[in-house]
């Protein structure tokens, strides 16, 4: 009798488990075709369209067809990449025993820190424009010009980081850093391109 009850209990648990695991989860809202097409068309104006599409497509629903939200999202993604890359380079600078390499990596991380500040200001300003805030801060063209200046400066700092590694022995660490900075530059370049098309 006890064994029958145990079998019944196990059967009920199994059925419950199957029911729970087989219930389809609610899928995220699918972006509209117009939102997807907007990202595809806008990304074609960038230097790295495939990267642009893959990084921004997950935000298509939120972006919809707002060019300021699109550029702001690109700047925010770039900011995140810059921060993580800077942190990784700082960590690598602390692990290398070569004094010259360590100094170059620290300088690189410092210049990326400047790029972080410039990109953060860009993302913040683009967010304000997307929300229609800061109308008294000047014309849209003037404000976009400021963002262009910041994003261009960020790209320059990223380039300075890479240039500072010239002449440093090309070991695996330096090669890794150069590759990481190269990827960040691609994100920054795309963000700047999307800013550039905000005004005629």
How confident is the model over 153-196, as pLDDT tens digits?
Answer: 999 999 999 888 887 888 888 899 999 999 999 999 999 999 99
Q: Whole-angstrom Cα distance, residue 39 to residue 31? A: 11
Q: Whole-angstrom Cα distance, residue 42 to residue 193? A: 9
Q: Whole-angstrom Cα distance, residue 197 to residue 168? A: 38
What's domain 67-196's superfamily in CATH?
Answer: Invertase/pectin methylesterase inhibitor family protein (1.20.140.40)
Q: Classify residue 135 by its DSSP letter.
A: G
Do residues 158 and 88 make contact, with C-beta atoms less than 8 angstroms apart? no
Q: Whole-angstrom Cα distance, residue 89 to residue 103? A: 11
Structure tokens at 63: 């972006």
Global pTM exceeds 0.95: no
Average of pLDDT values for 2-28? 34
How confident is the model over 106-136, as pLDDT tens digits?
Answer: 999 999 999 999 999 999 999 999 988 876 6
């Amino acid at each position: 009798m006890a064994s029958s009850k145990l079998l019944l209990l196990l059967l009920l648990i199994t059925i419950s488990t199957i029911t729970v695991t087989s219930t389809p989860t609610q899928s995220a809202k699918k972006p509209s075709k117009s939102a997807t097409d907007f990202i595809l068309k806008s990304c074609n104006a960038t230097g790295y369209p495939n990267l642009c599409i893959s990084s921004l497509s997950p935000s298509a629903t939120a972006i919809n067809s707002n060019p300021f939200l699109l550029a702001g999202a690109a700047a925010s993604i770039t900011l995140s990449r810059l921060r993580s890359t800077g942190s990784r380079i700082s960590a690598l600078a602390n692990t290398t025993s070569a004094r010259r390499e360590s100094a170059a990596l620290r300088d690189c991380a410092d210049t990326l820190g400047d790029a972080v500040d410039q990109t953060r200001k860009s993302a913040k300003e683009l967010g304000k424009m997307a929300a229609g805030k800061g109308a008294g801060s000047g014309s849209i063209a003037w404000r976009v010009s400021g963002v262009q200046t910041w994003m261009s400066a960020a790209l320059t700092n990223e380039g300075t980081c890479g240039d500072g590694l010239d002449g440093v022995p090309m070991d695996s660490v330096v090669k890794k850093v150069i590759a990481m900075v190269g990827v960040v530059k691609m994100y920054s370049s795309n963000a700047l391109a999307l800013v550039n098309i905000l005004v005629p």
